[in-house]
Structure 1
Amino acid sequence: MSSFFTGRVLGAVAFALILSGCSVSGSYPDATELDAAKLRFISDMSSATLSVLDEQHCGGQTTGILNNLFLANTRRRVDMSMPPVSDKTPYLEIRLSPNKELLLHLNTQGTGSVCGMAFTFTPQSGAEYELTFNRAGSQCMTMLKRLHQVPGQVARSPVPLVNKGIPSCMGANALFPVPAKGLPATPERDGLIEQIVSQSIITEMKPGATSLSESAQVEAVDLVVNKRKQQMNLDLPDAYWVQYRQNVATYLVQTQGIKANAFDQYKVEYRTRLSRLDTPSIKALVPDTQATDVTQALATNGAMLQYYHRLNEQLQKEVMANNWARMAELDKRYGVCERYAQCWQN
């Protein structure tokens, strides 16, 4: 599950959409591969849209529109084998090329707010998915689930959402802006920048001085594996559990490194942003000097603290997604999903 920004926009959004040429069915052509993946996009929000982006389509291709005041809901369908939970909430369906990394962009424009989100997605061969896009209080929420059938039921397994962007699209349009270059470095500027960065660091950013001991790690892995065995209650070979144990151990090690990674990336990003400023502007951000602009310094540090929190969350999602992919491959190799509804699905 992921939440993202909400904000106010001008009225007459539906009319603006019509003027911009947004069609009911969109411009995205369904994939034609026999093993194409299928995705159902479900939303109850005003003027909800889903666009598909890749290296050849940095501007995105639209798939249609839902819940627009002046346009009928698209009836786009691709004969998915598993029905939606309810037919009451509008939805559309598309076919996606398998094993190809895409960027899916969701957007909605109501009379008083706008919400948007993007995430990287690699559809699996022949798989079926559901993507929901709804509001929860003051936030918009999205969730991607993979659908699969087990005896007597349809199972919906959540898939983690991570936005890796499209590096080759950098500079192609406003969605992928090229960062401004920094000004030439000098000893004076480098010293000022280091003062700002070093004094912005708070306790919560600093990596822990100690990590789990080897015995504590083994105990933690045993706890996870044994609990999973009890939940599944399946007859699986020892080789499966050896690999499962290794995956858990790898995930544990990677999660312990997240904070240090975020800390290092934070300092690099802060230095990069400051390098784009002229020298007087940098001096105004150095704490406790005659040239300090306290208001601007606090605002800059506050913005960078928000960046740190977003970065830390993003790194956690990436580690989780990598572990998810390893577990999904393992369960697929041993046919777990045919017998267990809560299997790992990618």
Structure 2
Amino acid sequence: MSNFFAGRMLGATLFAVMLGGCSVSGTYPDATEPDAAKLRFISDTSSATLSVMDAQHCDGQTTGILNNLFLANTRRRADMSMPPASEKTPYLEIRLPPDKELLLHLNTQGTGSVCGMAFTLTPQRGAEYEVTFNRAGSQCVTMLKRLHSVKNQVVRSPVPLINKGLPGCAGANALFPVPPKGLPATPERDALVEQIISPSIIAEMKPQTVAVNDSARAEAIELVVNKRKGEMNLDLPDAYWTQYRQNIANYLAQAYGVKAEALERYKVEYRARLSRLDTPTLKTLVPDTPATDLTQALAVNGAMLQYYRQLNGLLEKEAMADNWAHMAELDKRYGVCERYAQCWQN
């Protein structure tokens, strides 16, 4: 479950505030810019809320509540030009400041359960979005889509979800804690830390050592381009396809380096966590010694493996999102979205 504990803390706070007499429309004031972006929040889950955060509002500003037993569903609307796919599922609409990085926090509180999700969004000028927040079993399922019109038909294009946090909010509250400082380094402690980290690096963490053949890469890129040309069936200049090929090449290079970056960041984080432990405790985590606490060592390594997998997945998403943005800019420059429903949308 994404951001479970953060969602639980924030969700409980927002829920208490709302039931304590706050407006059913929340505390977030709509952006007033004429080219403000618009967002529709749709959810069929119990007591679903959307909170908008930025560096000036680290505690978040609420936008209303959906599907609550004690409060009527908000009728908050932002005059979006494209209607929802269905009027049956409750929703609200807000206006967001364009070109400003925001953190959107979604939360739901059902009977005996809390579920939360957060993602970063920099709204485009005049853009319209929909975010859905539902449950699938015990999981929160969130999807963000950019709305646009092609030949008078509404098209919903998926947008990748990335949570970059809010660095400017570090230390502001429990959601953005300042990491505790480590103990002073010594040669003995440094050696113990390396003896813990080195054997924790398993095969799935190790970067590829064999580079992809240049001709094979070029052939793969050409296959992607030819497939795209066939799907689009548009008359586009050679300059468009030259840049399209370059975007793919850049993405492949960035994706190829993800595992190496994830491993280095894993080591940095592992060292930081171990630096907070005293020396006797470090000795219990070194494998295969008389002092080893096997249960604790396995627990620490298991937690760090989970951290690595989450980090690796995040870096893969960031590489994809960067490519997505470059492709969206290219399609916008050549007016593709006015003619092709499956264009790239940022």
Q: What is the CA distance between 1:141 and its match in structure 2? A: 0.4
Pairing of 1:161-180 with structure 2 (within 5 A) = 161-180=161-180
Paired with 1:301 and 1:23, the residues of 2 have a C-alpha distance of 46
Cα 1:20–1:316 shift into 2, 3 Å: farther
CA-atom RMSD in angstroms: 1.8
Pairing of 1:43-192 with structure 2 (within 5 A) = 43-192=43-192
May I ask how many residue pairs the two structures share in their alignment?
342
Paired with 2:45 and 2:285, the residues of 1 have a C-alpha distance of 42
Q: What is the CA distance between 1:15 and its match in structure 2? A: 8.0
Residues 67 and 73, structure 1, Cα contact 8 Å, conserved in 2: yes
Structure 1, residues 227-273: CA drift from partner, whole Å, max 9, x if none? 11111000011111111110001001111111111111111110110
Structure 2 letter corresponding to 1:249: A
Structure 1, residues 166-203: CA drift from partner, whole Å, max 9, x if none? 11111111111000011000000000000000011111
Q: What is the CA distance between 1:4 and its match in structure 2? A: 2.2
Using structure 2 for the length normalisation, give the TM-score. Answer: 0.95
Residue in structure 1 matched with residue 316 of structure 2 by the alignment: 316
Residues 55 and 168, structure 2, Cα contact 8 Å, conserved in 1: yes
1:260 aligns with 2:260: yes
Residue in structure 1 matched with residue 290 of structure 2 by the alignment: 290
Q: What is the CA distance between 1:19 and its match in structure 2? A: 4.7
Paired with 2:247 and 2:160, the residues of 1 have a C-alpha distance of 17
SS at match of 2:69: coil
Gapped runs of 5+ residues in structure 2? Answer: none
SS at match of 1:4: coil
Residues 106 and 117, structure 2, Cα contact 8 Å, conserved in 1: yes
Residues 4 and 117, structure 2, Cα contact 8 Å, conserved in 1: no
Q: What is the CA distance between 1:290 and its match in structure 2? A: 1.4
Structure 1 letter corresponding to 2:312: N
Residue in structure 2 matched with residue 278 of structure 1 by the alignment: 278
Structure 2 letter corresponding to 1:55: A
Residues 40 and 91, structure 2, Cα contact 8 Å, conserved in 1: yes
Paired with 1:20 and 1:311, the residues of 2 have a C-alpha distance of 38
Gapped runs of 5+ residues in structure 1? Answer: none
SS at match of 2:95: strand
Paired with 1:99 and 1:275, the residues of 2 have a C-alpha distance of 39
1:241 aligns with 2:235: no
Paired with 1:26 and 1:211, the residues of 2 have a C-alpha distance of 53
Q: What is the CA distance between 1:112 and its match in structure 2? A: 2.2
Q: What is the CA distance between 1:291 and its match in structure 2? A: 1.2
Cα 1:167–1:63 shift into 2, 3 Å: same
Paired with 2:75 and 2:101, the residues of 1 have a C-alpha distance of 26
Pairing of 1:14-53 with structure 2 (within 5 A) = 16=16, 18-53=18-53
Using structure 1 for the length normalisation, give the TM-score. Answer: 0.95
Residue in structure 2 matched with residue 212 of structure 1 by the alignment: 212
Cα 1:184–1:43 shift into 2, 3 Å: same
Residues 4 and 141, structure 1, Cα contact 8 Å, conserved in 2: no
Cα 1:119–1:194 shift into 2, 3 Å: same
SS at match of 2:29: coil
Residues 193 and 274, structure 1, Cα contact 8 Å, conserved in 2: yes
Paired with 1:49 and 1:31, the residues of 2 have a C-alpha distance of 19
Q: What is the CA distance between 1:215 and its match in structure 2? A: 0.8
Structure 1 letter corresponding to 2:227: K
Residue in structure 1 matched with residue 2 of structure 2 by the alignment: 4
Residues 66 and 90, structure 2, Cα contact 8 Å, conserved in 1: yes
Residues 48 and 106, structure 1, Cα contact 8 Å, conserved in 2: yes
Paired with 2:236 and 2:129, the residues of 1 have a C-alpha distance of 27
Residues 45 and 108, structure 1, Cα contact 8 Å, conserved in 2: yes
Residues 54 and 101, structure 1, Cα contact 8 Å, conserved in 2: yes
Cα 1:326–1:15 shift into 2, 3 Å: closer
Cα 1:307–1:21 shift into 2, 3 Å: farther
Residues 5 and 140, structure 1, Cα contact 8 Å, conserved in 2: no
SS at match of 1:299: helix
